[in-house]
Structure 1
Amino acid sequence: MNESALLSVRDLRVAFGGKAVVHGIDFDIAPGEKLALVGESGSGKTVTALSLLRLALNAEVTGSARLAGNGEGEGPRELLSLPERALRGIRGKEIAMIFQEPMTALNSLYTVGDQIAEVLELHEALPRRAAQEAAVQLLADTGIPEPQRRARAFPHQLSGGQRQRAMIAMALACKPRLLLADEPTTALDVTVRAQILELLAGLQRQHQMAVLLITHDLNLVRRFADRVAVMEQGQLVEQGGVASVFGDPQHPYTRKLIDSRPERRLPPAPALDAAPILAAQGLQVSYPVPRPGVAGWFRKGRFVAVQGADFRIRPGETLGVVGESGSGKSTLALAALGLLPYGGHLDIAGQRWRTSSTGDRALRRQMQVVFQDPFSSLSPRMTVEQIVGEGLTVHAPELDGAARRARALAALADVGLTEAQFPALLDRYPHEFSGGQRQRLAIARALIVEPRLLVLDEPTSALDVTIQKQVLGLLQHLQRERGLSYLLITHDVEVIRAMAHQVIVMKDGAILESGEALRVLDAPEHPYTQKLVAAALG
């Protein structure tokens, strides 16, 4: 063990059912140090962190993970062989963890304040009233507005950023010496991500706390970490200071990660006078909401989600829609797909949406959608043939089974999936593919009916940086080959820079700025756009 280290890990090996997933890794974390553990999904990052606290279910863990003494008469402790009762005293008190998805990590049946107070009652033996007061103060320390009110809220009543702040408050309640942060900003908007990062850095300095940051976001590592350790397929392939590793990477995998920024390889912008595939004028979407008091008994209020939006998408053009969660961008996309009632004018290839499904069928063939999370958007009970060929049963019912099968294979080949790679490809199920491959299946499903426009709703936000680059490259290739138009919904400014000809910036349902993408991103005029771009650049 490194005597100066807070945590010293040697020959850590993790296996499930005899299959090794972490292969004898070594690393140290010094007191007050920020170490980033980076790599793609499946590289073993999260399993490594969970194994340190023996939280990986059914894992076979060997090796050594020694935690330095706490200065209260307690000497170094071997976490991997410590009795469960003693380990419970360390979890949350000396080593705390922030999980990737706070909505699943927080208990939906208890208020946020009660969950934070529980940690203080268990580890600090605080009386309930004092623990609840301390919970409110912890929420205030993390920058949540109206902390007393938010402490009485349930997790579903908070925004994503507020839930993550509540998780941080819970993790820091007992002033741990080491914080394990597992993708703490992955699901957050770019500006909220910057706020959470600043919050973590400030609290780390204030408490002189060590942090093990688990992430695949290299911009996050550059801005936050002191040292970086790179994992590939369960092995540590490179370690060192952030500046040295990023400035002069030694391992090919590290170079691959660093070179994975999206590249702008777009076809030329169409002529300005080209007839649009999609045109909106004064587009407005609103929802009924309860009104407070007695007035709500008689009449509903209205929440305006999209306020008078104007935009056009020409053949072969990509319009990027960027903004934070709640800005109205996904609502705009649903209205464009004819899935929500709307006010104003919305034309697809010169035609309006009708109210009947049969009347809209021809328009729906012109316009298809690729969703954010391919695992949840693909039915686990359907084969690849059924998933990809489903659109043909609606839009080309004249085709027989053999013709549909041939079209499905052709669509899959267009997105880089062939039977040479995957024997019996059409008979497989979604769970047999990786995240990037599932997103290719989703794109093939959309392309098989030969649409003219694709709505891309955060198509790469659930993917690792290297897979994101591959999927964006595929979309660019398809656009050049087929002249496709895209309505791209995202909060990732780098994706907009790589993919969009034109961009509109939305906040609170309104378009604040629009224009040629590179001009808007390089010289933003509106303060909100400036804030988005600055947060993305770090």
Structure 2
Amino acid sequence: MTRPLLDVKDLRVSFAGKEVVRGIDFSIAPGEKLALVGESGSGKTVTALSLLRLVQDAAISGQALFEVPGGPGDLLSMPERALLGIRGRDIAMIFQEPMTALNPLFTVGDQIAEVLQLKEGFAQAASAQAAIELLASTGIPEPERRANSFPHQLSGGQRQRAMIAMALACKPKLLLADEPTTALDVTLRGQILDLLGDLQRRNGMAVLLITHDLNLVRRFADRVAVMENGHIVEQGTVADVFARPRHAYTRKLIDSKPVRDVVPAGVAATQSPPVMQASHLRVAYPVAVPGFRGWFKSGEFVAVKDASFSIPPGRTLGIVGESGSGKSTLALASLGLLKFSGQLQAAGQSWNRQAAGDKAIRKVVQVVFQDPFSSLSPRMTVEAIVEEGLLVHEPLLSLAERRARVEQSLAGVGMGEAQFPGLLRRYPHEFSGGQRQRLAIARVLIINPGLLVLDEPTSALDVTIQKQVLALLQRLQRERGLSYLLITHDIDVIRAMAHEVMVMKDGEIVESGSVLEVLDAPRHPYTQILVAQG
């Protein structure tokens, strides 16, 4: 048998005496693709970072034998100087969020060239040309121009391609890919995955893929190791583990696909006045015109073109599309936060984009954001966060009445003092991602709205937590008759939640109709791509 490229034995990682990785064993053969799967907090990212000793203030023990000239060397005990020679050259890493991993003060070309200069001894001119060639190998458009761009000037997919080019600059033997597609749209995920697979085959490189996306594992990996609470509970070939999972946690992950459980579209809902209605909606942003013509006039970028839709009571309209398709712009216009032309009414009233005039509509239309950690103030207690809407819309309530409403709203999303002692006095950082999203939902439900704009409400959550939050939203819709405007790029979420769906591309609605008709028999080529990639 071929000796493993990396052989990890009894790896343990602890912080301040608390063990988070608990004696795990795994190996990766040369050219093999191993997926490390688990929910947030399972220890998979800490495992990858500890292999290169990149975890601060951590006590690491065990062995990580890596094939180097002269035989296996232990990454966990070798001198720092020797490990410096391995990092970036023999073992490279792609991080989850390229915007935070790339230096904002340097162009992406300079950052790739720096790796070649430090690790391979390239001259400045040679490294600059090699950086362009590496960017071209990832399929990035106009690599010469993109090499001179700063990270903020690139799209999410382009930034991830630049990260991949940097990681592969020295043709490493092993690539550690930490959630490399989580922040990307479904079509970009497929493109990045295909790119990694192609580069892996071309360079004979081994890959350790860290992810919670089981569709990625099925499509990409040779073997899979499942982590729960710092333990590897199951590992084997992808085909065997997915077909015959032995551990209960593995079965739980595989069974976490969203389930459709919505109120059937009834006649009463379609005959009632719509909660929101738009006709020929158009949103445009002013842009500078290049050259001397810009002295006399300004141009415009049309983000939403001629959109029309209607949302009846108790129904969900899903909007699906890639980044830049216009779906988030449409959501912001629906919330009265962007200037638009055309007609848009919520609860029979039109937005006038004035605080006093729009107050009544804002009681009806509320929003749940993508990342609850960012949308909840870290300085406010749970009680202050949830009662905030009452202070604006029902200011005459007494303190006791507000507290009773807060407790009622929290109970409605499955959170109470019994499960969380001292709940009202706690702060957002004391809760998990799924629990924070429940708090965000309780905050908007307290004023009894009719329509919730859900902006990627589960994309920041693990698959099992995603399923729980979607089930909560489905239950609330049945019990309260809520309507949802659901913004997402996840086809599975649309299939589980929506009654009607609109597919957006480049600001236009290219296809719309009932969710089962559109997803089961897509007519537009773009919809067909989305469904196939999803």
Deviation of 1:43 after TM superposition, in Å, equals 0.2
- Corresponding residue for 1:214? 210
Q: How far 1:26 sits from its partner (Å)?
A: 0.3
1:61-89 Cα offsets, whole Å, 9 max, x none, are 0000010134xxx3211100111111010
What displacement does 1:115 show? Answer: 0.5
Separation in 1, partners of 2:188, 2:219: 15
Q: Secondary structure of the equivalent of 1:326?
A: coil
Instruction: Describe the superposition over 1:318-340 as per-residue Cα deviations: whole angstroms up to 9, x where unpaired.
Output: 00000000111011011111111
Which whole-Å deviations, capped at 9, do the CAs of 1:286-330 have from their partners, x for residues lacking one?
111111112223432111111010000000000000000011101
**Aligned counterparts, 1:454-493, within 5 A:** 454-493=452-491
Shift of 1:18: 1.0
Query: In structure 2, how many angstroms separate the alpha carbons of the residues matched to 1:224 and 1:59?
Result: 31
Alignment TM-score, normalising by the size of structure 2? 0.99
- In structure 2, C-alpha distance between the alignment counterparts of 1:290 and 1:438, rounded to whole Å: 41
Q: Distance in 1 between matches of 2:289 and 2:411?
A: 53
Distance (Å, rounded) in 2 between the aligned partners of 1:516 and 1:106: 42
RMSD of Structure 2 on Structure 1 (CA): 0.9
Cα deviation 1:328-386 (Å, max 9, x = unaligned): 10110111111111100001121111242112111110010000000000000000000
Q: 1:303 aligns with which of 298, 301, 304?
A: 301
Q: Do structure 1's residue 431 and structure 2's residue 434 form an aligned pair?
A: no
Counterpart amino acid of residue 197 in structure 1? L
The partner residue of 2:106 within 104, 110, 115 is: 110
1:353 aligns with 2:351: yes
Among 149, 154, 158, which residue is 2:150 paired with? 154
Q: Which among 168, 174, 178 is matched to residue 174 of structure 2?
A: 178
Note the alpha carbon deviations across 1:160-198, whole angstroms, 9 max, x for none.
000000000000011000000000000000000000000
Per the alignment, residue 98 of structure 1 pairs with: 94
- Give the conservation status (yes or no) of the 8 Å contact 2:109–2:148: yes
Q: Which of 213, 229, 236 is equivalent to 1:233?
A: 229
Hey, what does 2:66 align to over in structure 1? Answer: 67
Partner of 2:37: 38
Q: Does 1:141 align with 2:132?
A: no
1:125 aligns with 2:124: no
**1:188 matches 2:187:** no
Letter matched to residue 43 of structure 1 = S
Aligned to 2:52: 53
CA distance in 2, matches of 1:40, 1:293: 52
Asked if structure 2 preserves the Cα contact closer than 8 Å seen for 1:178 and 1:209, the reply is yes
Equivalent position of 1:410 in the other structure? 408
Query: C-alpha distance in 2, partners of 1:449/1:484?
Result: 12
- Measured in 2, the distance between the counterparts of 1:51 and 1:200 equals 23
How far apart are 1:3 and its partner, in Å?
Answer: 6.8
Task: Note the alpha carbon deviations across 1:255-299, whole angstroms, 9 max, x for none.
Answer: 000000000000011323332110000001111111111222343
With normalisation by structure 1, the TM-score equals 0.98
Cα gap change, 1:355 to 1:144, in 2 (>3 Å): closer
Contact 2:383 / 2:403 at 8 angstroms: preserved in 1? Answer: yes
Contact kept? 1:316, 1:479, Cα under 8 Å: yes
Aligned residues between the structures: 532
AA of the residue aligned to 1:175: K
Contact 1:270 1:314 in 2 (8 A): no
The separation in 2 between residues aligned to 1:158 and 1:359, in whole angstroms, is 39
**2:454, 2:485 within 8 Å by CA — same for their partners in 1?**
yes
Q: After TM superposition, what 4+ stretches of structure 1 lie above 6 angstroms from structure 2?
A: none
Contact 2:324–2:506, Cα closer than 8 Å, also in 1 = yes
Aligned equivalents of 1:454, 1:208: Cα separation in 2 = 49
AA aligned to 2:23 is G
Aligned to 1:202: 198
Contact 2:43–2:227 at 8 Å: present in 1 too?
yes
Paired residues of 2:376 and 2:440 also in contact (CA < 8 A): yes
What secondary structure sits across from 1:76 in the alignment? strand
Following TM superposition, by how much is the alpha carbon of 1:10 offset from its aligned partner in structure 2, in angstroms?
Answer: 0.2
Alignment of 1:235-384 (within 5 A): 235-271=231-267, 272-384=270-382
Gaps of 5+ in 2: none
Offset at residue 424 of structure 1 (A): 1.1
